[in-house]
Amino acid sequence: MSLENAPDEVKLAVDLIMLLEEHAIAPETVLKALAIVQRDFENKINAAEA
């Protein structure tokens, strides 16, 4: 499967991985930041459902 035909979430994931790797951010820092991002977006989903 080419990236061109991949689902949007796969395209975004690839872009994020490239960005994080280009900036040589430590994996532990990335995971902590992603947990914060996940909570933020889960809160946005919950707020939209309320």
**pTM for this entry:** 0.81
Residue 27 one-letter amino acid: P
Q: Residue 50's pLDDT band (boundaries 50, 70, 90)?
A: confident
C-alpha–C-alpha distance, residues 19 and 31, integer Å: 14
Instruction: State residue 1's pLDDT score.
Output: 62
Residue range 4-12: mean pLDDT, rounded? 95
Q: Where are the beta strands (DSSP E) in 1-50?
A: none
C-alpha–C-alpha distance, residues 11 and 4, integer Å: 8
What's the pLDDT tens digit per position in 9-49? 999 999 999 999 999 999 999 999 999 999 999 999 999 99
Q: Residue 2's pLDDT band (boundaries 50, 70, 90)?
A: confident
Please list, in sequence order, all residues whose beta carbon lies within 8 angstroms of the beta carbon of residue 20, skipping any fewer than 6 positions away.
30
The total of structural domains in the chain comes to: 1
Residue range of the domain that includes 18: 3-49
